[in-house]
């Protein structure tokens, strides 16, 4: 997505990074509309080869900027919402609620009440909330988030299944959950499982699909339930490091469809559609964070400071997540540095010593693959204003969120 011309200038689509920094300042998040639409199309193409019926729900949590969301709405995707705020923004932008899903965890009864009024499909993290829900309004269709007892992800913090995960309920209770729903008069059903994030292995998705089909079949066939959908969540990864490769989508969905249709046939589960909930895969590689080298210092190690720290991009500090970092107008790698932000935490540092060009104050450093879980996880720590966001389409550049000022932060405080 990031290109380098013959003069070593870095470009996003047809626009020079240096021009963006000059116009908008640093740090700044920049997204490629072309890359987002390309990601959507590649996912649609691979799914359509292997599934008769499927639906893509964009995971709003990954990047919730309305201008980004509007692209997904235009492309016909539904919304995967994890909280009331995400339902609010999805509805504002015209996403179909009946084609979207709400999967929260540890929610208040009033959260459940407001969600049920919107007509969005409810995917309960705990089947014991059925009683609360039916006192409010009995849903036409219900789904449950099943924890299969296993999980896998790029980091421990993004594993969402297994015995240590806070999500879903044990798969051993699946029959009990659906029986309870039947007893309450609910007649339409789906099932959901999401066990981890940023997986690049095609066989993993076949494995979890086989797992959810077996759980559904062994539990629901006893109850005579036929499913309207099977939701395997997201978790489709992107390569962050130089030695990782892109996920093979065609193989992924070939293997997944084999497990899916085998389970449907074996357990007579009806004619369900497959639902996927990608976030990172659709926006991760479409975003960069343009920052500036603020200072280079030699202590016991050699540090290069950037004006984008953990308040701007949290992932390196939170997960020790690796992001490639490119320097505008310099491509050689003849020096070694630890790259750090300006926040007063020693964890505000990118993992691993990096081989870089000779860095000087004012150099533009481009942190790649930050389109997902970048801006949305930013904060005001150390009283730092949040950066601007821009959307690039060819040579057209649109400011989609202005940079905050200290005055903006102050105005929210009743001093």
Q: How far apart are CA 362 and CA 276, in angstroms?
A: 43
Active site residue 344: yes
Half-sphere exposure of 133 (CA within 13 A, CB side): 26
Q: How far apart are CA 294 and CA 308, in angstroms?
A: 10
Could you tell me which residues come within 8 angstroms of residue 410 by beta carbon, excluding any fewer than 6 positions away?
A: none
Evaluate whether 130 touches 180 at the Cβ level (below 8 Å): yes
SS3 370: coil
Pair of tokens at residue 391 = 């959307």
Omega of the bond prior to 27 within 30 degrees of 0, cis? yes
Beta strands of 51-181 (E only): which ranges? 54-59, 78-81, 101-102, 121-124, 141-147, 169-170
* Catalytic residue (choose from 81, 83, 134, 344): 344
Q: How far apart are CA 265 and CA 271, in angstroms?
A: 9
In DSSP notation, 96-127 reads -GGG-EE--SS--HHHHHHHHTTTPEEEES-G
Q: Which residue has the tokens 């009440």?
A: 113
Report the catalytic residues: 344
């Amino acid at each position: 997505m990031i290109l380098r011309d013959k003069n070593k200038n870095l470009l996003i689509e047809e626009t020079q990074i240096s021009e963006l920094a000059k116009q908008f300042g640093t740090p700044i998040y920049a997204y490629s509309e072309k890359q987002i639409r390309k990601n959507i199309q590649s996912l649609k193409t691979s799914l359509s080869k292997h599934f008769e019926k499927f639906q893509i729900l964009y995971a709003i949590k990954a990047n919730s900027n309305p201008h980004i969301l509007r692209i997904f709405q235009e492309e016909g995707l539904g919304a995967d919402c994890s909280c009331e705020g995400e339902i609010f923004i999805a509805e504002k932008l015209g996403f179909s609620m009946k084609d979207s899903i709400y999967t929260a965890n540890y929610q208040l009864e009033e959260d459940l009440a407001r969600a049920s009024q919107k007509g969005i499909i409810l995917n309960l993290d705990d089947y014991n909330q059925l009683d609360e829900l039916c006192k409010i309004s009995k849903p036409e269709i219900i789904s449950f988030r099943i924890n299969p007892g296993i999980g896998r992800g790029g980091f421990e913090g993004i594993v969402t299944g297994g015995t240590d995960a806070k999500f879903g309920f044990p798969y051993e209770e699946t029959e009990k959950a659906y029986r309870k729903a039947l007893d309450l008069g609910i007649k339409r059903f789906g099932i959901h499982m999401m066990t981890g994030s940023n997986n690049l292995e095609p066989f993993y998705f076949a494995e979890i699909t086989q797992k959810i089909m077996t759980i559904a079949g062994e539990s629901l066939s006893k109850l005579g339930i036929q499913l309207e959908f099977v939701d395997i969540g997201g978790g489709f990864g992107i390569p962050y490091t130089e030695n990782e490769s892109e996920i093979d989508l065609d193989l992924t969905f070939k293997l997944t469809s084999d497990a899916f249709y085998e389970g449907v046939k074996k357990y007579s589960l009806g004619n369900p559609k497959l639902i996927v909930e990608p976030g990172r895969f659709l926006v991760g590689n479409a975003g960069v964070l343009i920052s500036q080298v603020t200072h280079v210092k030699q202590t016991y190690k050699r540090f290069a400071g950037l004006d984008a720290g953990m308040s701007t991009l949290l992932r390196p500090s939170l997960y020790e997540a690796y992001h490639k970092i490119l320097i505008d107008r310099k491509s050689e790698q003849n020096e070694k540095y630890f790259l750090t932000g300006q926040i007063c935490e020693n964890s505000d540092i990118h993992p691993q010593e990096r081989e870089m060009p000779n860095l000087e104050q004012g150099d533009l450093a481009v942190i790649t693959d930050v389109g997902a879980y970048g801006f949305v996880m930013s904060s005001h720590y150390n009283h730092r204003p949040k950066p601007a966001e821009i959307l690039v389409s060819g040579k057209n550049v649109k400011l989609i969120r202005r940079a905050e000022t200290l005055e903006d932060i102050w105005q929210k405080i009743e001093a």
